[in-house]
Structure 1
């Protein structure tokens, strides 16, 4: 009877004669055999799949993956701070305001004028050694003086000759119109801070119906239709108080409504909107009462 041959295990890399066929592999050798078998299997998978899972690759075989370029955020340039001393030593500019008997020459340091985009355009056209003069014949001298006061002090006030505590209503509208002129000047110069300051001062004045009407006429003839910030309060006042105010300035109120149709339309719109809301509320209440009666 023939004895079957003893199985032989050949480790890759070893020669056929490196180990006798009759010897059984030691545990260590068996471990190497299993490891080599696993490597052989993985190699076959690489050849068949075309790409091996990155988790099975040794760390030394992984290639460095280039990181995307990081876009550095631009460093904002430091904001230029206002230097009062430098402004005081800047060149003097002459501003000729008004015309005829009202023409007045005002003088101011150039740096206090460049904050206004409207004036900065004139200053940008000055020659280095030429005259520095700006002509503004259509502007109000008093309003422009308040603008200069604001540029130097960040506020403005009534002239000392007119300074007083308003204990009674402004009957002529002089004070309201003064602030309104500063408001429109600030809009033209491009200074929102001065514009807001003037608007706030207007609402602190206690005015008579005649003054309110004069102010309404100025607002609706000197501001754009889209400037609801100043127009809306005017229209709301007359919409809410017209039944009282018009008795004291009836003819003047009628004249304003005819001459400035936009004022009439805005006042009427507010009144009609309020009436529609109240009518809708009454209908809802009436429906609720009818339902409650039916339920009873």
Structure 2
């Protein structure tokens, strides 16, 4: 009797085959519901697109440029300025609700305006007339004709140095490409060379080497068109003199090797390629 009761109890506690199937089925249903719920929770996010409205809704920052009578305030939206690492760092220090102002007393007003124009539009005036690599630039009414002081070259050179300061390599490349599309005179070239050797780092061969190469290949013609200015430049910036001389000697050595068909140095006169002071032949980056 006791054995029969134990056996009956054991049978009641053991789930039947039907019960097992129902449990498994119920488990599958629960897992499916969980999976559905999980999928709903991890739907891919739509990428946030910054539209122009987002930029102009950001706080306005005043950039005070220049000193004295030349001082000008340029206002720009913070969301635009922070494309530059330099301005991003400056803006990060602004307290909420405070008047946002950045002082750039040593910057050129026109060049700073072009930098802001580039941050908004990706270009600056004068623009290239087409997408072609050798496309000329728009006419710039600010440039005198003839441009004896190198005004057009200095427009882009000043933008180049500001782009370097503000951490904008694409703008540096753009300004450099426009330098190569700009014509000038011998005296204008000297003004440009003086600015480059005064305002750029000796390690910045991107802009310095073309300057030295330009004078090395045209030194005879240009020296006679602007001998006084050329002499003053050489005395003021010995590094310019060395860079030009090195390129002249390198060219002379290559010419001698080519003519003699060996690697033995040979003595001889200077081998400088003459050229027009009015025609630029730089290699563009952009």
- TM-score (normalised: structure 1): 0.66
1:198 aligns with 2:175: yes
Partner of 2:65: 97
Q: Distance in 2 between matches of 1:84 and 1:193?
A: 21
2:239 to 255, 262, 265: 262
Partner of 1:172: 149
Match of 2:181, SS state, is coil
Unmatched 5+ residue regions in structure 1?
A: 1-76, 288-296
* Equivalent residues of 1:170, 1:205 under 8 A apart: no
Q: How much has 1:158 moved relative to structure 2?
A: 4.6
For residues 73-92 of structure 1, the aligned pairs below 5 Å read 81-92=49-60
Higher relative contact order (CA closer than 8 Å, sequence separation 6+): 2
1:154 to 115, 122, 126: 122
* Equivalent residues of 1:220, 1:260 under 8 A apart: yes
* Equivalent residues of 1:180, 1:198 under 8 A apart: yes
Q: Distance in 1 between matches of 2:168 and 2:140?
A: 25
1:106 aligns with 2:74: yes
* Equivalent residues of 1:92, 1:132 under 8 A apart: yes
Match of 1:106, SS state, is strand
* Equivalent residues of 2:117, 2:124 under 8 A apart: yes
Partner of 1:276: 253
Partner of 1:117: 85
Q: Distance in 1 between matches of 2:48 and 2:248?
A: 49
Partner of 2:193: 216
How well do the aligned residues superpose, as a CA RMSD in angstroms?
2.5
Q: How much has 1:284 moved relative to structure 2?
A: 1.8
Q: How much has 1:83 moved relative to structure 2?
A: 2.6
Match of 1:94, SS state, is strand
1:128 aligns with 2:96: yes
Match of 1:96, SS state, is strand
For residues 46-57 of structure 1, the aligned pairs below 5 Å read none
Q: How much has 1:235 moved relative to structure 2?
A: 0.4
Unmatched 5+ residue regions in structure 2?
A: 1-44, 128-138, 265-286
Q: Distance in 2 between matches of 1:165 and 1:126?
A: 36
Q: How much has 1:281 moved relative to structure 2?
A: 2.1
Partner of 1:7: none
* Equivalent residues of 2:64, 2:105 under 8 A apart: yes
1:226 aligns with 2:194: no
* Equivalent residues of 1:97, 1:106 under 8 A apart: yes
Q: How much has 1:122 moved relative to structure 2?
A: 1.0
Q: How much has 1:280 moved relative to structure 2?
A: 1.8
Match of 1:156, SS state, is coil
Q: How much has 1:171 moved relative to structure 2?
A: 1.8
Q: Distance in 2 between matches of 1:252 and 1:79?
A: 57
- TM-score (normalised: structure 2): 0.68
1:187 aligns with 2:155: no
Q: How much has 1:78 moved relative to structure 2?
A: 9.6
Match of 2:183, SS state, is coil
Q: How much has 1:96 moved relative to structure 2?
A: 0.6
Q: Distance in 1 between matches of 2:170 and 2:183?
A: 23
Q: Distance in 2 between matches of 1:79 and 1:188?
A: 32
